[in-house]
Structure 1
Amino acid sequence: MEEGTVETPEELLAKQHRKEKKDLQAKIQSMKNAVPKNDKKRRKQLTEEIAKLEADLNQKHEEELRQLKSTADTKVEEMINRVETLKVEDGEQEEVKQPRVTKAQKRRDKKAAQEKERETRIAEAEVQNLLGVRHQEGLKLAQKLAQQQLQIKEISSDGHCMYRAIEDQLAQRSKPELSMSMKELRSRTADHMRNHADDFLPFLTNPNTGDMYTTGEFEKYCSDVEHTAAWGGQLELKALTQVLNLPIEVIQADSPTIKIGEEYDGEPITLVYMHHAYGLGEHYNSVEQLKDPANAEES
């Protein structure tokens, strides 16, 4: 973890759960080693003991997750109540009539009102942070990826994010011949679409008329793919699966994983599609192996 980064309660709990699961697996392995393989009765008892240990740990983790969610919900409710209280207090103060208020008193009242308004804005911001769609989307994606022992790898938001995420995925592989730069991926995508226009042109329509792209409009589209920061989508992903001969899967928080190019063998390229990233809307990120906190602390 980078210096100065503050872990959320969800991250801390996930770290604790991973450590407890790792410790349990070590304990189970030790128990297995202690029982001779030919002792069938003891092996059967051992299997039952292991199943109980795993069930107990899972139940413990589920209860802790429920408690964490309950705590978060309570905090949100407290923040909302605080906002409402501050607003009510402001309204009550406005109704109070103070005849013959001195200039000094007016200044004090104005300063107090400004401070109250500031507290209200802070409280509202805290509520939005806890309830915000971006925060909730990040939590859901982290849970989905953790099931595959993966975590998000951030990609810069510059219009090239989809291609940069694929560039990163290819670079993580042990086959240097598969590596391609973002520019090369854009160029290869555009060339493939030009050479297989019948596969792509029918899916492109003029937003003003609703008519299918003309040949000229399609060439302009391909040129933008190659030479500009035009945002990439499913058509470009389809082209890239055919360029790379690899499947691509796109993980989302609230929708099933999109799988493209399933006819190709090989380890799929995995992308994360975020609807609410950076407050700018849609964005693609790459993924990487989930880091073991224990190993990270040792290194």
Structure 2
Amino acid sequence: MEEVETAEELIAKQHRKEKKDLQAKIQSMKNAVPKNDKKRRKQLTEDILKLELELTQKHENELKQFRTLPRLANNEEPNDSSKQTRTSKAQKRRDKKAAFEKERESRIAEAEVENLAGSRHQEGLKLRQKLMERHLQIREISSDGHCMYRAVEDQLTERGAPLSLKELRAQTAQYMRSHADDFLPFLTDPSSGDMYTADEFEKYCNDVADTAAWGGQLELKALSQVLQLPIEVIQAESPSIIIGEENVKPPITLVYMRHAYGLGEHYNSVELLKDLANEEEG
């Protein structure tokens, strides 16, 4: 007997179909615009991103609506012993496989609901919209404790003035040691609230230089002075901030993500939208 799909499974299936259809439409749109027509390719990139965002928002709304609907009890077949027949081993295997697949589809649907309603997804949508307006996209940086420095390293490499992760950490720590009065007031013992002692501050700087200690605004402030460059940080919930505005050169740009990974905060780099980057290379 054919298994009846649940509402969650039907929604998930429909969403996958709509995503597949959109990708086919996008490919058709790309094929219709000559690669050497920069103006139309630029508009095409914006149109594609808008279509993707609209579909994501549509799916999110549908899943939210589904979540608020009362759940109907599963229909059960009447227990009519006169209609019962002996089930073969092969049929039992098929039934077991079908039940497994049904449960899997249900888990996928539930995960989609959780993901679309979650902070990580909402943050990603807002960041993508902000970056799209500037014809940028995220360039992923590994989450290993060095993400802020790796994002700066990536931006400097794009400018043709690379510094290694080790150099960035060492110079950040040295600048902080040399300008202790600018940083010590912002460093306190979390258990007592007391400002760091000289020894604690030296250990903090050693960790900046020699470990995978996570970097934040204090380290960005030091890096801005070391590099003599402003550093712009784009974030989802607040306006962008620029550290080191006194440096009049164009800033390097990072993306700050509060909900990116299970461990929490994370920095990524940015790059030109792919289609625009391909045009410039052309």
Q: CA deviation at 1:74?
A: 4.9
Residues matched between the structures, number: 246
The aligned residue for residue 258 of structure 1 is: 241
Identity %: 59
Amino acid of the residue matched to residue 238 of structure 2?
A: S
Q: Name the counterpart of 1:71.
A: 58
1:137 to 1:9, Cα distance in 2 relative to 1, 3 A: farther
Partners of 2:58 and 2:171 in 1: how far apart?
50
Task: Name the structure 2 match of 1:135.
Answer: 121
Instruction: Please tell me the residue identity of whatever aligns with 2:255.
Output: V
CA distance in 1, matches of 2:153, 2:21: 30
Judged with a 3 Å threshold, the aligned counterparts in structure 2 of structure 1 residues 9 and 191 are, in CA distance, closer, same or farther, namely farther
Aligned to 1:190, what secondary structure does the other structure show? helix
Task: After TM superposition, give the deviation of residue 254 of structure 1 in Å.
Answer: 1.3
CA offset digits 1:127-173 (Å, max 9, x no partner): 12322322222222121112222111111111000001101111111
User: 1:37 matched to which residue of 2?
Assistant: none
Gap change, CA 1:131 and 1:116, over 3 Å in 2: same
Q: Secondary structure at the match of 1:241?
A: helix
User: Structure 1-normalised TM-score?
Assistant: 0.67
**Kept after mapping to 1: 8 A contact 2:53/2:125:** no
Counterpart CA distance in 1 for 2:20 and 2:219 is 36
| Bigger relative contact order (CA 8 A; separation at least 6) | 2
Structure 2 CA distance for aligned equivalents of residues 137 and 295 of structure 1: 27
TM-score normalised to the size of structure 2?
0.70
Q: Distance in 2 between matches of 1:273 and 1:266?
A: 21
* Alignment correspondent of 2:138: 152
Deviation at 1:116, TM superposition (A): 6.0
Deviation per CA, 1:80-123: give whole Å up to 9, x if none: 379944xx32xx87xx9999xxxx9xxx8x96987765443232
Query: Where does residue 41 of structure 1 map in the other structure?
Result: none
The 3 A distance-change label for structure 1 pair 158 and 252 is: same
Q: 1:74 to 1:150 in 2, by over 3 A?
A: closer
- Contact kept in structure 2, 1:190 and 1:225, CA below 8 Å: yes
What is residue 191 of structure 2 aligned with on the other side?
A: 208
Q: How does 1:1-299 map to 2 (within 5 A)?
A: 25=39, 68=55, 71-77=58-64, 80=67, 84-85=71-72, 88-89=73-74, 117-174=103-160, 176=161, 179-292=162-275, 295=278
Distance in 1, Cα, partners of 2:108 & 2:275: 35
Query: What is the one-letter code of the residue matched to 2:144?
Result: D
Query: Match of 2:58, as an amino acid?
Result: T
Which AA in structure 1 matches 2:63? V
Cα separation, partners in 2 of 1:117 and 1:167, compared to 1, 3 Å: same
Q: Once superposed, what is the RMSD of the aligned Cα atoms?
A: 4.3
Q: Which SS does the other structure have where 2:214 is aligned?
A: coil
CA contact under 8 A between 2:172 and 2:222: conserved in structure 1? yes
SS of residue paired to 1:165: helix
* Conservation of the 8 A alpha-carbon contact between 1:249 and 1:259: yes
SS in 1 for 2:182: helix
Which residue identity is paired with 1:239? A
CA 1:158–1:294 in 2, change beyond 3 Å: closer, same or farther? closer
Unaligned residue ranges in structure 2 (runs of 5+): 1-18, 82-86
Q: Secondary structure at the match of 1:249?
A: strand
**Rg bigger for which structure?**
1
1:150/1:289 contact within 8 Å kept: yes
Residue in structure 1 matched with residue 5 of structure 2 by the alignment: none
